[in-house]
């Protein structure tokens, strides 16, 4: 295949990657901004820059020309990891360890499961804790289960913490072989998608400051920066090798390597994986390094004899950062565990690797060292950066409040979707900071200022529409109109609202009826003739029955 055909196919690969990368996320503004200028420039630069590596790799029987990558079928042997068995074991038995007055005995029992030199003492400890748990030839996982049961920590409920941790523990006890495909690629499509997309609806995994659709950091400049140097290649595994889009949007591990054919010096940079690089990273790292070393030695037809050193320290001179490189140089940091390997045949005459180069602006295709837009293109978008979707938009932005009440600028789509209008202060707030109260929308701060919770129904209402009442405990509280009408009456005497059941229904002088609270009862009396609570008329008659109440009767009544 000649160079122009190769470049054409690479363009298609890049467009495919851009489309795959945006498939499961709403944060697509960077991909939307990618122009043919950018794609053509990247395809061409990268095809020429990686030609030496391509010539070497393409000699391999596992070279996939369409992918511009080696596809190595690997098997991973996973041996029991003593540290992990110990930590899972103590985690599962933590309750029992907490309760016992002989912790050492439990620790000795756990040690049986991870230390082959501790069989005898371990078994003795287990027998003391759970006499029936151990038997010769019984599977270790079953011995552990029986121990847990005897110690009262075995929660057999489906999906319980115990079940979950126990499954991990049992799994860790046995060695197993796992098949996988390792892609070793010089394809720029795989470089720009090196970290998975941010905002993936399927759950984000293996994202980083190199995620191509992020404009939060500038390091994703390195996606194209690595793609344009002569020596970098990217090794990765994916969620499902049968589902091609996962090569571009669902990587499960990835590492940048660098090698110059015929130079015998291999850089292996930081391992990124789905668990955030803690458990299993160095183990996988070593496995992938071995596979790649073997492949390169085989292709160069030399003995596969390498010595490996940390990239930080004595051998740091082996790797230089290329001019204009704007990616994150992981290999310069000790805790990211970068490695350089030197092959015996070039121990004395290898030359340092120059890793990374200028990246490209996705908009105009020119070189840049910061982020995915050059200064000009960024300026052309001045002020149109949406702080919600992290994208650049042509239309004007809107000022809205964030959760903490700070002003931020967002695009119209984000405002309409994620923010709501407070009819009280006239500002937009995040949807979950807005409450509907009596058919009006209030932000949290307006709600707190102008509305109150009804003591009875616990709904918010505008305070102006609420009534202060005296509740059953004698406290003054606010209630809404509905609740006021349902449970309370205004006292004829003092004008306060009280609970209806605690008030007295009286007949007034003019024949009307009213409620009176206990404190105001003094001016009323029971008519000895009709037995109603009344306000006696000035002429001494009862307004209810009309009878004359004389003093004697009055005394009797009291």
Q: Exactly one of 153, 258, 437, 454 binds Zn ion (CB under 5 A); which one?
A: 454
- Of 340 and 506, which CB lies nearer to Zn ion in the complex structure? 506
Secondary structure (DSSP) of 426-485: --EEEGGGEEEETTEEEEHHHHHHHEEE-TTT--EEEGGG-EEEE-TTS-EEEE-HHHHH
- Of 31 and 355, which CB lies nearer to Zn ion in the complex structure? 31
Q: Is 256 helix (H, G, I), strand (E, B) or coil?
A: strand
Taking the complex as a whole, the smallest distance from the CB of residue 505 to Zn ion amounts, in Å, to 13
- Of 133 and 374, which CB lies nearer to Zn ion in the complex structure? 374
Q: Exactly one of 109, 360, 446, 451 binds Zn ion (CB under 5 A); which one?
A: 446
**What is the rounded distance in angstroms from the CA atom of residue 308 to the CA atom of residue 257?**
14
Q: Is 112 helix (H, G, I), strand (E, B) or coil?
A: helix
**What is the rounded distance in angstroms from the CA atom of residue 474 to the CA atom of residue 496?**
12
Taking the complex as a whole, the smallest distance from the CB of residue 491 to Zn ion amounts, in Å, to 3
Residues 342-401 that bind Zn ion (CB under 5 A): 361, 363-364, 374, 377, 386, 388-389
The 10 Å Cβ neighbour count of residue 168 is 14
529 touching Zn ion, by CB under 5 A? yes
- Stretch binding Zn ion (CB under 5 A), from 130-138, 141-149, 324-332, 437-445: 437-445
φ and ψ at residue 58, rounded to 5 degrees: -70, -10
Contact predicate 465/440, CB 8 Å: no
- Of 217 and 421, which CB lies nearer to Zn ion in the complex structure? 421
- Of 339 and 447, which CB lies nearer to Zn ion in the complex structure? 447
Secondary structure (DSSP) of 514-526: EEE-GGGGGG-EE
Q: How far apart are the first and last CA of the chain?
A: 118
- Of 146 and 377, which CB lies nearer to Zn ion in the complex structure? 377
Interaction mask 396-435, Zn ion, x per CB under 5 A: ---------------x--x-------x-xx----------
- Stretch binding Zn ion (CB under 5 A), from 128-136, 295-303, 342-350, 540-548: 540-548
**What is the rounded distance in angstroms from the CA atom of residue 30 to the CA atom of residue 215?**
8
Q: Exactly one of 267, 271, 517, 535 binds Zn ion (CB under 5 A); which one?
A: 517
Contact predicate 189/13, CB 8 Å: yes
- Of 319 and 397, which CB lies nearer to Zn ion in the complex structure? 397
- Of 279 and 407, which CB lies nearer to Zn ion in the complex structure? 407
530 touching Zn ion, by CB under 5 A? yes
The 10 Å Cβ neighbour count of residue 290 is 15
Taking the complex as a whole, the smallest distance from the CB of residue 396 to Zn ion amounts, in Å, to 12
Interaction mask 483-512, Zn ion, x per CB under 5 A: x-------x-xx------------------
255: CB partners within 8 A, 6+ apart: 234, 235, 236, 268, 269, 270, 271, 272, 285, 288
Taking the complex as a whole, the smallest distance from the CB of residue 244 to Zn ion amounts, in Å, to 30
The upper half-sphere exposure of residue 4, i.e. CA atoms within 13 Å in the direction of its Cβ, equals 0
Burial of 71 (0-12, 13-18, 19+ CB in 10 A): middle
- Of 230 and 415, which CB lies nearer to Zn ion in the complex structure? 415
Enumerate the β-bridge partners of residue 181. 73
**What is the rounded distance in angstroms from the CA atom of residue 505 to the CA atom of residue 533?**
7
> Could you tell me how many residues of this chain bind Zn ion (CB under 5 A)?
34
Taking the complex as a whole, the smallest distance from the CB of residue 23 to Zn ion amounts, in Å, to 19
Residues in the site for Zn ion, rule: CB under 5 A?
361, 363-364, 374, 377, 386, 388-389, 411, 414, 422, 424-425, 443, 446, 454, 456-457, 459, 479-480, 482-483, 491, 493-494, 517, 520, 527, 529-530, 542, 544-545
């Amino acid at each position: 295949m000649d160079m122009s055909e190769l470049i054409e196919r690479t363009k298609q690969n890049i467009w495919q990657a851009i489309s795959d990368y945006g498939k499961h996320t709403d944060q697509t503004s960077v991909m939307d901004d990618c122009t043919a200028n950018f794609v053509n420039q990247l395809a061409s630069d990268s095809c020429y820059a990686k030609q030496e590596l391509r010539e070497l790799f393409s000699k391999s029987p596992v070279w996939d020309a369409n992918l511009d990558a080696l596809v190595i079928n690997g098997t991973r042997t996973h041996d029991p990891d003593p540290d992990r068995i110990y930590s899972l074991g103590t985690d599962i038995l933590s309750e029992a360890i907490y309760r016992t007055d002989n912790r050492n005995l439990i620790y000795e029992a756990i040690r049986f499961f991870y230390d082959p030199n501790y069989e005898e003492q371990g078994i003795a400890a287990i027998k003391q804790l759970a006499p029936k748990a151990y038997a010769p030839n019984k599977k270790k996982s079953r011995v552990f289960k029986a121990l847990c049961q005897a110690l009262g920590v075995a929660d057999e409920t489906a999906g319980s913490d115990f079940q979950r941790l126990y499954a991990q523990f049992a799994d860790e006890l046995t060695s197993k072989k796992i098949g996988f495909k390792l892609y070793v690629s010089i394809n720029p499509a795989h470089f720009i998608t090196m970290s998975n997309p941010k905002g993936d609806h399927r759950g984000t995994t293996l994202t980083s400051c190199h995620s191509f659709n992020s404009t939060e950091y500038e390091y994703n400049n390195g996606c194209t920066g690595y793609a344009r140097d002569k020596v970098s290649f990217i090794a990765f595994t994916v969620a499902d090798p049968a589902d091609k889009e996962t090569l571009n949007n669902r990587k499960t591990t990835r590492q940048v390597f660098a090698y110059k054919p015929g130079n015998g010096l291999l850089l292996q940079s930081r391992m990124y994986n789905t668990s955030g690089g803690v458990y299993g990273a160095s183990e996988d790292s070593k496995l992938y390094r071995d596979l790649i070393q073997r492949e390169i030695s085989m292709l160069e037809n030399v003995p596969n004899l390498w010595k490996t050193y940390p990239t930080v320290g004595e051998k740091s001179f082996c790797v230089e950062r290329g001019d204009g490189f704007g990616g994150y140089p992981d290999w310069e940091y000790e805790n990211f565990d970068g490695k350089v390997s030197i092959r015996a045949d070039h121990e004395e005459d290898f030359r340092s690797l120059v890793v990374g180069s200028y990246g490209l602006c996705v908009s105009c295709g020119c070189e840049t060292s910061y982020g995915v837009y050059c200064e000009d293109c960024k300026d052309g978008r001045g002020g149109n950066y949406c702080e919600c979707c992290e994208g650049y938009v042509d239309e004007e932005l809107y000022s809205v409040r964030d959760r903490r009440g700070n002003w931020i600028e967002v695009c119209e789509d984000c405002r309409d979707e994620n923010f709501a209008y407070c009819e009280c202060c006239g500002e937009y707030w995040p949807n979950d900071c807005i409450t509907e109260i009596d058919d009006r929308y209030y932000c949290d701060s307006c709600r707190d200022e102008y509305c109150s919770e009804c003591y009875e129904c616990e709904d918010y209402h505008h305070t102006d529409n609420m009534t202060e009442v005296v509740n059953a405990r004698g406290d003054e509280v606010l209630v809404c109109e509905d609740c006021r009408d349902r449970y309370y009456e205004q006292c004829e005497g003092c004008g306060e609202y009280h609970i209806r059941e605690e008030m007295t229904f009286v007949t007034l002088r003019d024949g009307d009826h009213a409620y009176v609270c206990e404190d105001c009862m003094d001016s009323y009396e029971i008519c000895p003739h009709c037995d109603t609570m009344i306000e006696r008329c000035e002429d001494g008659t009862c307004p209810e029955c009309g009878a004359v109440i004389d003093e004697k009767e009055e005394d009797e009544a009291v």
